[in-house]
Amino acid sequence: MLDLNQLRKDLEPLVQGLAKRGVQFDTERFQQLEARRKAVQVETETLQAERNALAKRIGQLKSKGEDASEALAQSQQIPVRLKQLEQDLSQVQAELSSWFATIPNLPHESVPVGESEEDNVEVRRWIPGPKDDQGKPAHITFEPRDHVDLGEQFGLDFEAARKLAGARFMVLRGPLARLHRALAQFMLDTQVEEHGYTECYTPYIVNASTLYGTGQLPKFKDDMFWVTKGGQDNEPADPAESKPEDLYLISTSEISLTGMVRDEILAGDALPMRLTAHSPCFRSEAGSGGRDTRGVIRQHQFDKVEMVQIVHPEQSYEALESMVGHAEHVLQALELPYRVVQLCTGDMGFSAAKTYDLEVWLPAQDTFREISSVSNCEAFQARRLQARFRADSKARPEFVHTLNGSGLAVGRALVAVLENHQQEDGSVIVPKVLRPYMGGLERLVPAK
């Protein structure tokens, strides 16, 4: 969430920053709400002062044995009005909070201005083998097969998944299931052993407060799977209990990893926190518009190894660059060509102030496709989460900065390994770093 106090001091940077993201801020509405808030607060302060003055006067009158009934009558009316003002203030603040919960983060000054992915800026690319005259990978000299044709030879089964759950799910069997597991384990081990992340296992179901804090709610509610318990409407068993929060399947373990610092004041020396987790992710893909219906690219359920850092505000942009390097390291170890792209203002995620995408080369599509997105959210999530730190025991609490990124998406990595390491005879070379996880297997060979 944006800093309301800062906006009250200087609104123009907010208006200009949101305009770069294609969002028109309703200045008139904000000023009207602020005028209501100020009027309520001024009247409240005036009545409180009047109440104190009347209390003093009543005491003086009584001490002199004089009639205090008129002053008492006046003082008895004040609490009624103060209660009404309290409700009015609560209403204004709720309207402001509800509105600001739908407003995205401001872009960092270094983010290129643009409207869509067409305006993103390539930062660098890593091509380990030969290139064509356009700088694209040219290591495959035959007509490449796509991951669906390749995968079906080794245990990829969409028909079984459709019978179990419907479209956009998959079943993996045998060597392909093991390759999928090997990728996840390798990624997790790399982030823990080489990059210093703490491995975590977190719930796959979270409450609405956690999703609000990380920015998925309310904006992306329709893109998530909701959870009900026992087929009931989630009503409490005991009428005296409050109704429990709605529950959702996580769309990324960023939600649970970042959410662990909700309502916390961390010690300064606890930063930076580096957390990682391997988890399934669930997305309804309500806004996908029918894209990538073939294959594994866009599924309702997929696995991801997530990286999250909770850092001191002065260190967050250094942390962003290092996290991009952590994701790149995995791609290079898997010998997968890729490029790094800086997203423009119109293509960034809701909570992000600056984002890099890593796009892996897919030969059958003759293009680069996203496999990791690494973002600095600055204090945007921290304000919603009330996640703070103290530099020392006497310092005032400050909001932390939060960062997240894929290290990597396992299903898309599986796609990239199949397509980039395919051989003309239909076999697939297993990258060297994965062979220890595959029992020493060097190649996937189609059954004859």
**Where are the CATH 1.10.287.40 domain residues in the chain?**
26-101
With pLDDT > 90 as the criterion, what percentage of the chain qualifies?
81
pLDDT tens by residue, 288-311? 555 666 788 889 999 999 999 999
Report the candidate in 154, 148, 206, 147 with the shortest Cα–Cα distance to residue 179. Answer: 154
Tell whether residue 116 is among the known ligand binding residues. Answer: no
Tell whether residue 370 is among the known ligand binding residues. Answer: yes
pTM, whole model, 2 decimals? 0.90
Q: Looking at the structure, give the CATH architecture of the domain made up of residues 117-444.
A: 2-Layer Sandwich (3.30)
* pLDDT confidence of residue 325: 98
Tell whether residue 404 is among the known ligand binding residues. Answer: yes
- Residue 242 in this model has a pLDDT that exceeds 70: no
DSSP letters of 287-328? TSTTTT-SSSSS-SEEEEEEEEEEE-GGGHHHHHHHHHHHHH
Tell whether residue 306 is among the known ligand binding residues. Answer: yes
Mean pLDDT for the chain?
93
**CA torsion sign, 333 to 334 to 338 to 340?**
negative
Report the candidate in 384, 323, 387, 311 with the shortest Cα–Cα distance to residue 355. Answer: 323
pLDDT tens by residue, 343-375? 999 999 999 999 999 999 999 999 999 999 999
Tell whether residue 406 is among the known ligand binding residues. Answer: yes
Tell whether residue 251 is among the known ligand binding residues. Answer: no
Contacts of 174 (CB under 8 A, 6+ apart): 154, 155
- In CATH terms, the superfamily for domain 26-101 is Serine-tRNA synthetase, tRNA binding domain (1.10.287.40)
Residues 208/248, Cβ–Cβ less than 8 Å: yes
Tell whether residue 110 is among the known ligand binding residues. Answer: no
Tell whether residue 318 is among the known ligand binding residues. Answer: no
| Average pLDDT over every residue of 30-57 | 92
**Where are the CATH 3.30.930.10 domain residues in the chain?**
117-444
Tell whether residue 372 is among the known ligand binding residues. Answer: yes
Tell whether residue 285 is among the known ligand binding residues. Answer: yes
Residues 305/276, Cβ–Cβ less than 8 Å: yes
